A and B are shown apart, each in its own frame.
Chain A
């Protein structure tokens, strides 16, 4: 893969060039100071050294609430046909790129989801290297994640730009004059200890049935939903249908759900297969680290650290993998 050098002072023009291919979105700061992915109006909006956004880019692919069917008496149920505007998502960190790769496996696997695919195809990913902090433990398998269309690596005075996909190459074609050839080889990072542990655990299928941590988690958890909302790979959803005021038409939509909510394991008549929080934490553990169905054995956690940051009562499932948690298994 060829790497080009993009000097800092050409970034603005580079972004202008990218926005010819779609609406430019990237990490920006809200007036309250929250780092989020959102529309980028000018280069100065863009946070080039951000840590992590509150919600990962999954919101572009699987919005918190999305209409999935419309009903009319005449036509029955039909798929909504909202055209997906093309979006250039700039500045996606490797952990989030891996998150997207995971969602792709779920939603574009053997049972592809048309609504997901439509959004996925309308998005171009421009990755950006990052500096880890004390919360995250991401490790990309390669230095340049394969699902980025373009990938930028911070280097002194600029970025190393690589086109990963043909779409990426196409975009670079028009931007050649901003780029210089480069011989810099960026450093590669070693796998984070935590991620090594997680991968080991996933391989061995360990479930820590006797760890006292479960009780502690269950007693403290507020079921506030933050950990799932903010996780790049949590994708459980609920489906609901509402009639409209005309008395005949209806809309069906799906919205993000959370395995720590009581209703998640309920069936009609009130029977609940995961009645208490302890069981729901087990479930979360099984799904997140050991994987279900065709993704059994594939850990979903990409190490972005969001769940540790957003939990109001400091619950951290990875404690299971540290000495203490492990010792109890």
Chain B
């Protein structure tokens, strides 16, 4: 007789998800990952709205990724309208992305996954079991959030970022304060990264498939806008041609579409970025070097450690960006001028969880006539399901609660962001 083990809701992740393991006796037949968030029809909400409202609406697709959605959306619109943003605007956008990454990675590392390592049920339990680690993590997280609040005007759904530039520049005092705060938490982040490198992983060591990594990149450094989608199997494409690389299919058991590169199941996120070689600053480069044996060619269970390395990286990057901003002089342009016309624009950025792509069609009045959004969790979904199956098979015979716990830990390693993953995409 077949029976089903259901994990519902997936806990300590962002969004609503369910895992179902289909068993015959003790044998695992299949695993289904259902990203069950209710569809909010975001693309439908965008159609008919003027270009300047799109970023304001679309950032609400997800709170944790709101900054990166907002910036990606702005870049896509600006590409459609041919807007040349100023150096200042570019730096601020990168800065808020660094802040978003610090916030997102530390939320995930300290509040959502650290409990797995320390046998705690969640942050509240952790506050009793490992108060020092939790507090250090929260300090790092706060530094990331302070960037989002000061640059974005709001901690979530940054209001200050608009087509062409921003409403107001932070003051020099604010920038200096941010820099101080980042400098203070940098050692904390290094310590945390070491911690995740040395703690015993709570995950059963199963033979998971070697991932095919994917990331968006520029030929030169990490600056905006990004141009290329690259994969570890050597394939690559200009971001405007993302649809030729990534295909999507509806699966009946999930509210999110699954995304593949042809037949290849791809993986995005921190681990992919490190494996595809992002440019690191000095201390994150050292951290990466120290952990390279655990990271290079690794499967997604190493993603947590990769996020630890990136945490250092985004703090360093934040400091460098603030230095660059402090060096700017003279009257700074708030918003670049532009004309509204018909056009189509695509932009891709690395969100904390991996590649994020926005594409819009605008008519002559700047009204949106079509929108397409590809999110990292939608891309990762196939790989997640594949790995869940391998892990469940490797755990044949385990009792239900152990199996459920292990599968949840694996899902968490992917740091899924289910709210943004679920939205039906126009093809």
Interface residues of A (CB under 8 A from B): 31-32
Q: Which residues of chain A are within 8 angstroms of B341 by Cβ–Cβ distance?
A: none
The distance from the CB of B250 to the nearest CB of chain A, in whole angstroms, is 47
Q: Which residues of chain B are within 8 angstroms of A32 by Cβ–Cβ distance?
A: 168
Q: Which residues of chain B are within 8 angstroms of A31 by Cβ–Cβ distance?
A: 168, 171
Number of residue pairs spanning A and B whose beta carbons lie under 8 angstroms apart: 3
Residues in B156-205 with C-beta less than 8 Å from chain A = 168, 171
A206–B168 alpha-carbon span in the complex (Å): 48
Residue in chain B with minimal CB distance to A31: B168
The distance from the CB of B325 to the nearest CB of chain A, in whole angstroms, is 16
A32–B168 alpha-carbon span in the complex (Å): 8
3 A-B pairs with the lowest CB-CB distances in the bound complex, closest first = A31-B168, A32-B168, A31-B171
A and B contact pairs by CB, cutoff 8 A, 3 listed:
A31-B168, A31-B171, A32-B168
The distance from the CB of A134 to the nearest CB of chain B, in whole angstroms, is 30
A32–B167 alpha-carbon span in the complex (Å): 10
A282–B379 alpha-carbon span in the complex (Å): 64
Residue in chain B with minimal CB distance to A32: B168
Residue in chain A with minimal CB distance to B171: A31
Q: Which residues of chain A are within 8 angstroms of B168 by Cβ–Cβ distance?
A: 31-32
The distance from the CB of A30 to the nearest CB of chain B, in whole angstroms, is 10
Residue in chain A with minimal CB distance to B167: A32
The distance from the CB of A246 to the nearest CB of chain B, in whole angstroms, is 16
A32–B169 alpha-carbon span in the complex (Å): 11
Q: Which residues of chain A are within 8 angstroms of B171 by Cβ–Cβ distance?
A: 31
The distance from the CB of A45 to the nearest CB of chain B, in whole angstroms, is 14
A310–B171 alpha-carbon span in the complex (Å): 26
The distance from the CB of B44 to the nearest CB of chain A, in whole angstroms, is 33
The distance from the CB of A56 to the nearest CB of chain B, in whole angstroms, is 25
The distance from the CB of A86 to the nearest CB of chain B, in whole angstroms, is 23
Residues in B325-376 with C-beta less than 8 Å from chain A = none
A31–B168 alpha-carbon span in the complex (Å): 9
The distance from the CB of A245 to the nearest CB of chain B, in whole angstroms, is 14
The distance from the CB of A42 to the nearest CB of chain B, in whole angstroms, is 15
The distance from the CB of B223 to the nearest CB of chain A, in whole angstroms, is 27
A32–B171 alpha-carbon span in the complex (Å): 12
The distance from the CB of B24 to the nearest CB of chain A, in whole angstroms, is 52
A226–B37 alpha-carbon span in the complex (Å): 43
The distance from the CB of B166 to the nearest CB of chain A, in whole angstroms, is 13
Residues in B133-171 with C-beta less than 8 Å from chain A = 168, 171
The distance from the CB of B334 to the nearest CB of chain A, in whole angstroms, is 10
The distance from the CB of A33 to the nearest CB of chain B, in whole angstroms, is 12
The distance from the CB of B38 to the nearest CB of chain A, in whole angstroms, is 33
The distance from the CB of A129 to the nearest CB of chain B, in whole angstroms, is 33
A31–B171 alpha-carbon span in the complex (Å): 10
A263–B252 alpha-carbon span in the complex (Å): 53
The distance from the CB of B322 to the nearest CB of chain A, in whole angstroms, is 19
The distance from the CB of B345 to the nearest CB of chain A, in whole angstroms, is 30
